[in-house]
Structure 1
């Protein structure tokens, strides 16, 4: 692995460097400029708060193509009945806070540090990060957030306080924006997202799609 210089915003080329188990660098900082540059190049931070910052670009990459979205009959009924009200970019702060605080089975703590939350929130103010909120009886019961890199959405985290809330929000987001999205980056495998159609693709294919569809490079 390569140690990053805090005074220089750069990373090893993920297309040429595999690193160790998907980790291509460590160190550096979580400044807005570095985090944004990282995501533009297919790299994301993932580490335990208090530990060294780790930067990842795994191979293969877990993604979902909008036209491959799978919606079960039971979920379609939930969406058609409008069990939830779904909004976008109405409460980014509460979505990311809930993503940090929600209890997750088999997981202790969270990777979302105060510094990283501040960076993502600033990126939201600049229009680079977006949130999806899922409401039930005027209560925020689910949601997700991520970064928009051109026509690629880099999903970061989601939460659900009631059954199917985050899944409904994700489906709504994909179906609403499918004409504007080429790919959704899910980063690492989860059964939850696999059930919705996510699959692994080679890192080289992911980076090619990202670079071809990054309108802000």
Structure 2
């Protein structure tokens, strides 16, 4: 069973989420960021569900600590619904964000989708044989280890950033709309416009481009979406 860490200072929310998740996953409970950090040091965590507003170390501070050493997916759960809070969390390395109040069944669905993306255990799909590596100019994506290299040097990506880059690199030159990226990577229906994909694209550019403001690989096609292609001469 995979292990999910739930950190929220509202005990009722922690108990509610455990009730819905414990049939399929091992659950670790924390009521502030410091408790959560200690649990991560003594347990192997596969996914974290974090509240932003917690006493002591808040969710954003905890996420910074997590990303120093771990790459498991992180889902933010918070009463703060303003766009700048959501964008900040994504920029720090969160994979998804749900505002309170929430439907616990949505949390279950999103947690399952995140873990499938990372651990590739979707038994319903019969995977077609794909090349272990995709090479595009100085970029190499290694499917066997879920790793990306730029000029031979490893690039640290979140699981969501990796899946977006893999999707684009599978078909270089093809333009993907936000809707197609969302439905492929989040495994969900695209029902509203937000800045999540834009923030993830920006994060990827910061990591693979010489100048993220003048991208050579990951291009925006105005009014349509995004595509990736090797720079001329590479």
> TM-score, with normalisation over the residues of structure 1?
0.32
Q: Which has the higher helix share?
A: 2
Q: Which has the higher strand share?
A: 1
Bigger relative contact order, structure 1 or 2, given CA contacts below 8 A and separation 6+?
Answer: 1
Higher Rg: 2
